[in-house]
Amino acid sequence: MNVHASSARATSADRPPRAIVLGTGARESVRQAAEQLRPQLDAHLEVVLVDLEGQHDLSTVSADLALVLGGDGSILRAATQMGDHQIPVIGVNLGKLGFLADLSPAELVSVLPEIARGQYRVVDHLMLTCQVVSQGQVLAECLGLNEVAVLGGPPYSMLEVDLYVDSEWVTTYSCDGLIISTPVGSTAHSLSAGGPILRKSLQAFVISPVSPHALTMRPVVDMADRQYELVVREPHAQTSVVVDGRPLRTLTRADRVLVRRATPQFQLVEVAGRGYYRTLREKLGWGGQSPGRKRNSTAGETPP
């Protein structure tokens, strides 16, 4: 598990942490939250940039933290915007599920003093790079946090997708599409396709076919230090490679989709009391108890 403590560069005797505020400003709720939270942020942090349009070159900004308002989609966009210059992210959930954007605005306000004192930890998460290559030329390239998906498009008939791992042919999937997911993305599109949930800090990829023709074609988990290559034998006119929900390029039979571990890692701030399994339990509705019986917080204790 790649966990490192915060540098605690900001203390009561030092300057406050420098922070940037990001989000999707097209959503009125995000703009309202930014305005409402600003006094609390200014009381504990030095806000050096507010970018709700996603247009700023963040490589030119010196900051210790990124506060992202919205949902997991906003965090995906923020991770892409930061590119090779990833800084620790605090996700504030203004949406629904929010696996990454885990704090409510009220919870953020309550933990801001701890964050200002450096009392948090940062967990590194695997990112990926996706390239579309044809005849030795890179036609398109993108950084991603969740997944790469090859999707059929109209007329929505089955695809034949060859998978190679480190140049070794693995199999040909007959399916509606194929997903290569990071652990962060394992609770997104891959989970909907029947893939497993991986702890977010693992260094591994999940290969999940979408509606495979053969029931023996099951999701596979493999190491992140390998190169994954996808080739669509007979793509449709709109068969595309999609990274984190954003279309990267339509594919031809000459194209090869390469997926590798990215050099930068996404950094997520975790505060006390917001553990991994608590997040899964709350977001996925894992009650873990019979009706009318309440489980205590200590392991194994269930009152009569």
What is the per-residue pLDDT across 142-152, written as a single tens digit (0 to 9) for each?
A: 999 999 999 99
Asked if residue 162 has pLDDT above 90, the reply is: yes
Please name the residue that has the structure tokens 């392991």. Answer: 299
Domain boundaries for CATH 2.60.200.30 within the chain: 128-261
The pTM is what?
A: 0.87
| Of 51, 72, 244, 255, catalytic | 72
pLDDT at 304 over 90: no
Q: Which candidate, 66, 99, 65, places its Cα nearest to that of 281?
A: 99
Which tens digits make up the pLDDT trace of 39-90?
999 999 999 999 999 989 998 999 999 999 998 999 999 999 999 999 999 9
128-261 is a CATH 2.60.200.30 domain: yes
Q: Considering the chain, tell me which residue range(s) the CATH 3.40.50.10330 domain(s) occupy.
A: 3-119+273-284
Overall fold of domain 3-119+273-284: Rossmann fold (3.40.50)
Separation CA 25–CA 15 (nearest Å) = 29
Q: How many helices (H) and strands (E) does the chain have?
A: 5, 19
CA geometry: angle at 240 spanning 236 and 241, to 5°? 145
Distance (Å) of CA 200 to CA 60, 125, 277? 29, 6, 11
Tokens of 207: 């290969």
Which two three-digit tokens encode residue 164?
A: 């190679």
Catalytic residue at 72?
yes
Band (pLDDT 50/70/90 cuts) for residue 99 is confident
Query: Do residues 78 and 90 touch, judged by C-beta distance below 8 A?
Result: no
Both tokens of 16, joined, read 């406050």
